[in-house]
Copies of this chain bind each other. A is one copy, B any other.
Amino acid sequence: MAEKITPRSEDYSKWYTDVVQQAELADYAPVRGCMVIRPYGYALWENIQAALDRRFKATGHVNAYFPLLIPYSFIRKEAEHVEGFAPQLAIVTIAGGETLDEPLVVRPTSETIIGHMYAQWVRSYRDLPLLINQWNSVVRWELRTRLFLRTAEFLWQEGHTAHATYDEAEAETRQMLDIYTDFAENDAAVPVIRGRKSESEKFAGALRSYSIEAMMGDQRALQAGTSHNLGDNFARAFNIQYLDRSNTLQYCWTTSWGLSTRFIGAIIMVHGDDQGLILPPKLAPFQAVIVPIYKNDEERSQVMGAVERIRTMLGEGVRLKVDDREGYTVGWKFNEWELRGVPLRLEIGPKDVAQGQVALARRDVPGREGRAFVPQEGLAARVNDLLADIQRSLFERAVAFRAAHTFYPKTYDEFRQAVENGFAWAWWCGDEACENRVKEDTKATTRCIPLDQPGGTGRCIVCGRPADEMAVFARAY
């Protein structure tokens, strides 16, 4: 935490990078476009993993591991898939000192190799559904990269399921979208719009893609998780077939769904302020930090005694950091933990020990207003209540911010204005030509066609033809 963070109003993009690096979430790697996820960032990812993995397992999914390296010929088996991914592939051509007969692709996603294995594992309807997830890293050679948001390698989970019917596959696709929504809103305090991607924005090889879309602090959109109904496209390409109850050979219906370390970018940009990160208590590596205050050894021993009593009081229920480092001023520590977004700070000095109190400071309410002296008695309940309140407030604040920057333009001129300032909900005829015009005129794209539609019909904001559905348009990361 050497330098000052660039204020958001001055340069949002620079603010973001400053926060990521100075809070020690991540660092640039010596390979173009790659990053190192530092321990503090990884601890946040571990909490995200636990929150998702719990939900996956509760809905019957199990984890497995499929190979990193995929034969190049596999990628070519699904026509749209290869078209979408070929330009981004990293390719191993030499291994064990020899040039390979067939090059191997470092997985950009695993539909193909998993399809190949499913074809061998699935025999009858009794083997279905197959509900598997994997936690891994993937490589996509992106030209323009940004820490967490777009990197040549990223960590994620990719779920891959196979079903007997189209309906089951569609239900699974939607279930996982709902799980992402629940995680985003309830654990990360990030409000999202659940919706269908347009044909031009869908996953390469999918029948239908869904996403959750969140608004960042600069009013731009970020796709924070996706769930794809792959139809029978991959089942046909990889020959995933099963014998049904009447002994007839049928193709399976498959899905895939993923959420990545990109989500950390969303947490930073939805909640952060000019002092740095603000982490939602449910995911914060440390939910509270205690900063002891003393001037000499006698005070130190008094204060540290009280700190130990508080640590015991709070117990396992609170992820607590005690910052007892020597050689740093109290003010420096306050700044450090503000920068790192710890939701709650407890300060305790000799006077507080004498009076049986501590000072509690909320990260989400800066200055005097967010700071209060409270008795040590009953502290655990108070801390837990405050953490719950911070979690709720962060979500409400993000909902209010999004509402303040969501527009319902009536004319194309209003629309052009709207997408410069946030999300535009607008009727859309569904034609790619209209999407393209919007992109050329405004750099905004269709983020999704929300599942929660206002009802009724209207006229396309671009071409004026009749439209059944509204889409959300925005500039996106």
Contact = CB atoms under 8 A, between A and B. Distances in A.
Interface of A: 27, 29-31, 34-39, 41-43, 45-46, 62-71, 74, 86-97, 103-104, 106, 113, 116-117, 120-121, 126, 132, 136-137, 139, 141, 143, 152-153, 155, 327
A106 B68 contact: yes
A113 B462 CA distance: 51
B35 A64 contact: no
A17 B97 CA distance: 28
Given A34-B67, A95-B141, A62 B39 contact: yes
Given A36-B64, A87-B96, A91-B92, 18 more contacts: A29-B113, A30-B71, A30-B116, A31-B71, A35-B67, A42-B64, A45-B65, A65-B137, A68-B139, A68-B153, A69-B106, A89-B94, A89-B97, A90-B92, A92-B106, A95-B141, A97-B141, A136-B137
Contact of A39 (B63, B92, B103, B141): B63
Contact of A34 (B62, B69, B126): B69
Nearest to A87: B97
Contact of A95 (B90, B126, B136): B90
Contacts of A327: 126
A62 B90 contact: no
Given A30-B116, A113-B29, A141-B95, A36 B106 contact: no
Contact of A36 (B39, B88, B117, B139): B117
4 smallest A-B Cβ distances: which pairs? A96-B141, A39-B62, A37-B65, A90-B95
Contacts of A94: 89-91, 93, 103
A153 B92 contact: no
A351 to B, nearest CB: 29
A133 to B, nearest CB: 9
A65 B155 contact: yes
Contacts of A71: 30-31
Main secondary structure of the interface of A (DSSP, over half): mixed
Contacts of A43: 62-63
Contacts of A121: 27
Nearest to A35: B67
A10 to B, nearest CB: 27
Contacts of A30: 71, 74, 113, 116
Contacts of A152: 69, 95
Contacts of A143: 96
Listed residue (A30, A86, A136) with the most chain B CB atoms within 10 angstroms of its CB: A30
A39 B91 CA distance: 28
Contacts of A103: 94
30 contacts: A27-B117, A27-B120, A27-B121, A29-B66, A29-B113, A30-B71, A30-B116, A31-B104, A34-B67, A34-B69, A36-B64, A36-B66, A36-B117, A39-B62, A41-B64, A42-B62, A42-B63, A46-B63, A65-B155, A68-B68, A68-B153, A69-B106, A69-B153, A91-B94, A91-B95, A92-B93, A93-B93, A94-B103, A95-B141, A136-B137
Contact of A91 (B74, B88, B93, B120): B93
A178 B93 CA distance: 40
Nearest to A43: B62
A413 B97 CA distance: 40
A68 B141 CA distance: 13
A42 B67 contact: no
Contacts of A90: 69, 92, 94-96, 104
A31 B67 contact: yes
Nearest to A136: B137
Nearest to A285: B62
A37 B93 CA distance: 25
A86 B97 CA distance: 8
A29 B65 CA distance: 11
B36 A67 contact: yes
